[in-house]
Every structure is written in structure tokens, then in C-alpha cells.
Amino acid sequence: MMLSIIKWVYKQLMPNWAKSRHPDASHFYQRRFTASYQRKKEKVKSIWMVMGCIMLMCPLIQFVVPILLFTSFVAFCILDET
């Protein structure tokens, strides 16, 4: 029940161009469906998983904040359009 409510809210808030799995060729959103972007996304997910485990092993704020900031920077660099 709750999942269907969440899906309904998601559909209502999502813009039309983001719902399509085959967007217009000239639209900026199409890059998210390419194989290279999917590989980059998997790489970023793996990096976040490893860094999350490191943060859980050493839960001191002195280590968590720099790791969090560095991982965010690396993720944005990897997913950036070049």
C-alpha cells in the first residue's frame, strides 16, 4: 500500500521528459541512458559502498566528514559530462 502511494507521488512530481525511457535525441537527459553513463554510475556506486564501509569501520567525525566530502567530489567528477 505504502509503496503504491510512493510510486504515485513519484509519478506526479517527475517531469514528463524524465518519465520517458527513450527521450528526444536533442535533449540533455538522453545521456543517462547510454552504456558509458551506466558504467560510470556503477563505478560511483561501488566507490560509495567502499567509502561507506570505511566510514562505518571508523565512525569518528574527523574521518567521516573528509571522506564524505572527498567521495562527493570524486562522484561528481566521474559523472560530469566531458
For the stretch 4-55, pLDDT in tens is 888 888 888 887 767 766 656 666 667 777 888 889 999 999 999 999 999 9
In terms of Cα–Cα distance, which of 47, 76, 73, 44 is closest to 65?
A: 73
Q: Is the pTM of this model over 0.75?
A: no
Pair 55, 68: CB distance under 8 Å = yes
Distance from C-alpha of 27 to C-alpha of 9, rounded to nearest angstrom? 25
